[in-house]
């Protein structure tokens, strides 16, 4: 597939592909979302794709996944966090990871949740 074909594909399906990439990233699948975002930005600069439509689709998808993570935390809480800590750190230090997450949330409250969206761990 040539670069021109890739842009044409994104031109046609970008409103579906970008939200799918956002969802995949939020659940931990390493896919090339940044190059796709750059390509769609280039298409938008040339008026070939609607920025509000793409941003709306990505926002809806990201908020839906955030709600799923919220519900997992609300219903399963510590068990989910311990499992995520084990997966992310690839070690058995899940208890210290859980304590660190609890202390950060206790200290900063909801602000820590907002910051966590933009600051990698």
Answer whether residue 92 shows pLDDT above 60: no
Largest Cα–Cα distance of the chain, in whole Å?
Answer: 51
> CB-based contacts of 105: which residues, under 8 Å, 6+ apart?
112, 113
Q: How many CA atoms lie within 13 A of 8 on its CB side?
A: 5
Specify the pLDDT at position 106.
80
| C-alpha of 31 from chain center | 11
Mean of per-residue pLDDT scores for the chain: 79
- Give CA separation, 83 vs 28, 51, 63, 74, 111, in Å: 13, 37, 22, 15, 23
Instruction: Indicate the domain borders of the chain.
Output: 1-76, 77-121
Specify the pLDDT at position 37.
83
Give per-residue pLDDT as tens, 98-120: 777 778 778 887 777 777 766 66
Give per-residue pLDDT as tens, 30-45: 887 788 888 888 888 8
Give per-residue pLDDT as tens, 44-67: 888 888 889 888 888 888 888 888
Q: Residues 16, 45, 31, 86: is their CA dihedral positive or negative?
A: negative
Specify the pLDDT at position 91.
53
Task: Tell me the pLDDT band of 94, cut-offs 50, 70 and 90.
Answer: low
């Amino acid at each position: 597939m040539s670069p021109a074909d890739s842009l044409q594909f994104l031109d046609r399906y970008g409103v579906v592909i970008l939200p799918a990439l956002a969802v995949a990233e939020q659940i931990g699948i390493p896919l090339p979302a940044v190059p796709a975002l750059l390509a769609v930005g280039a298409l938008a600069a040339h008026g070939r794709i609607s920025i509000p439509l793409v941003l709306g689709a990505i926002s809806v998808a990201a908020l839906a996944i955030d709600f799923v993570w919220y519900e997992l935390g609300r219903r399963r809480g510590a068990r989910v966090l311990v499992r995520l800590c084990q997966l992310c750190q690839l070690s058995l230090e899940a208890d210290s990871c859980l304590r660190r997450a609890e202390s950060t949330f206790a200290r900063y409250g909801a602000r820590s949740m907002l910051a966590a969206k933009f600051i990698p761990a």
